C-alpha cells in the first residue's frame, strides 16, 4: 500500500481505540499515536505501527484521523510543535472525528488548504456501543469530493455517513445531535424516577413504552444501565459538558435562546459537581435524584 493510502490514527480512548481497530480489521495499514501509549497497546498488537508524535503519524500517512477529547486537545494535536501540520505531506487528508467548535474545524480546513491538503470534520454519535459495533452515525463537513474519497473508511466505523455541507457543518450537526440527546436523557431519567416513586417495575416500564412514541436509543441502551446503577462511561459527563458548552456558545453567536439547552447544561454541571464527571451521561439520574 503506498503512502497516499496509508492511514494515521491519533487518539485511542474509549471510542477511538475501537474505531481504529475496525480499520485494522479491514486490512488497512495504520500508524497510531496516543498521549497515553498504553492505550494503543492492543492496536499495536493487532498490527498498528506506533509513532512518537502526531507529526510522525502525519509524515507516514496520506489520511490522518483524529479522535480526541476537547477543543484544546484538538488544537494541540493539529497546531503544536510536533503536531499534524508539522509533519503533514502535501495533498494529505485530515479527518477530525472529535466533537469540537465549528470555528476550529474551519481553522483546520483553512490551514490545510494553504498547505495543499484537505480537512474533513466528521464527528460521531453512538457512544462506546456504536464505536465497538461499527454502527456510529457520522456527520461530515468539508468538500464533498473529499468526503466521498474517505467514505469507504468511514463505512468501516459507521452505519450512517451523512454529508452536511462545507467545513464546520459536521460539527454544527453534532451539536444538534447533542441537543436531542440531552433533552432525551432528561426525559428518560425523570420517567424512571417517576416510575420508581409510583411503585412501578422500571424494567417492565421500559418494555411497555419502548414500542411506542417514547422508543429511542437512550431508552434501549442507557435506561437499563440506570436501573442497574451502572455509571460506567460510554460517553463521559465531562466530555458531554464540553459539547453542551460549545452548543451554548454557538447558540449565543446565532442569537438563539434555547432554554432546554441551558437547563441540560445546568443539570450536567450539577452532575459533575457531585462527583460524576468521569461517569457516563446516564449519571444525570443522581443529580435529578438530589433536587
Residue 158 is predicted with a pLDDT of: 98
Radius of gyration of the chain (CA): 20
Provide the pLDDT for residue 5.
64
pLDDT for residue 65: 98
Residue 3 confidence (pLDDT): 44
Do the domains at 3-166 and 172-290 have one common CATH topology? no
- Please state, in angstroms and rounded to a whole number, the distance separating the CA atoms of residues 13 and 3: 26
- Which string of DSSP letters, residue by residue, matches the chain? --GGG-EEEE--STTHHHHHHHHHHTT--EEEE-SSGGGGHHHHHTTPEE-SSHHHHHHT-SEEEE--SSHHHHHHHHHSTTSHHHHPPTT-EEEE-S---HHHHHHHHHHHHHTT-EEEE--EESHHHHHHHT-EEEEEES-HHHHHHHHHHHHTTEEEEEEEESTTHHHHHHHHHHHHHHHHHHHHHHHHHHHHHTT--HHHHHHHHTTTTT--HHHHHTHHHHHHT----SSBHHHHHHHHHHHHHHHHHTT---HHHHHHHHHHHHHIIIIITTSBGGGHHHHHHH-
pLDDT of residue 124: 97
Return the domain boundaries, the chain: 3-166, 172-290
Q: What is the pTM of this model?
A: 0.92
> Which active-site residues does the annotation give?
174
Blockwise average pLDDT, block size 10, the chain, 291 residues: 70 95 97 95 97 97 96 97 95 97 97 96 93 97 98 98 98 98 98 98 98 96 97 93 96 96 98 98 97 86
In this predicted structure, what is the pLDDT of residue 291? 86
Does the 172-290 domain belong in CATH 1.10.10.60?
Answer: no
In this prediction, residue 14 carries a pLDDT of 85
Residues 3-166, CATH architecture: 3-Layer(aba) Sandwich (3.40)
Asked if 9 and 16 touch (Cβ cutoff 8 Å), the reply is yes
Amino acid at each position: 500500500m503506498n503512502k497516499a493510502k496509508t492511514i494515521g490514527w491519533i487518539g485511542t480512548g474509549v471510542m477511538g481505540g475501537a474505531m481504529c481497530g475496525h480499520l485494522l480489521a479491514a486490512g488497512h495499514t495504520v500508524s497510531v499515536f496516543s498521549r497515553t501509549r498504553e492505550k494503543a497497546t492492543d492496536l499495536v498488537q493487532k498490527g498498528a505501527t506506533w509513532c512518537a508524535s502526531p507529526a510522525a503519524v502525519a509524515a507516514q500517512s496520506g489520511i490522518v484521523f483524529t479522535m480526541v477529547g476537547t477543543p484544546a486537545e484538538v488544537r494541540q494535536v493539529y497546531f503544536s510543535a510536533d503536531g499534524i501540520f508539522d509533519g503533514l505531506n502535501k495533498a494529505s487528508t485530515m479527518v477530525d472525528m472529535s466533537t469540537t467548535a465549528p470555528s476550529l474545524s474551519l481553522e483546520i480546513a483553512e490551514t490545510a488548504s494553504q498547505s495543499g491538503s484537505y480537512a474533513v470534520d466528521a464527528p460521531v454519535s453512538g457512544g462506546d456501543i456504536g464505536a465497538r459495533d461499527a454502527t456510529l452515525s457520522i456527520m461530515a463537513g468539508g468538500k464533498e469530493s473529499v468526503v466521498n474519497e474517505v467514505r469507504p473508511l468511514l463505512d468501516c466505523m459507521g452505519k450512517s455517513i451523512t454529508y452536511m455541507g462545507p467545513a464546520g457543518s459536521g460539527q454544527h450537526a453534532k451539536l444538534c445531535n447533542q441537543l436531542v440527546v440531552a433533552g432525551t436523557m432528561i426525559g428518560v431519567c425523570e420517567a424512571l424516577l417517576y416510575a420508581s416513586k409510583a411503585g412501578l417495575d422500571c424494567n417492565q416500564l421500559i418494555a411497555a413504552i419502548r414500542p411506542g412514541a417514547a422508543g429511542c436509543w437512550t431508552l434501549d441502551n442507557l435506561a437499563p444501565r440506570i436501573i442497574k446503577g451502572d455509571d460506567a462511561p460510554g460517553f463521559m459527563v465531562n466530555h458531554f459538558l464540553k459539547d453542551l458548552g460549545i452548543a451554548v456558545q454557538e447558540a449565543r453567536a446565532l442569537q438563539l435562546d434555547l432554554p432546554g439547552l441551558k437547563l441540560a447544561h445546568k443539570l450536567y454541571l450539577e452532575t459533575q459537581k457531585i462527583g460524576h464527571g468521569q461517569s457516563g451521561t446516564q449519571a444525570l439520574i443522581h443529580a435529578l435524584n438530589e433536587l
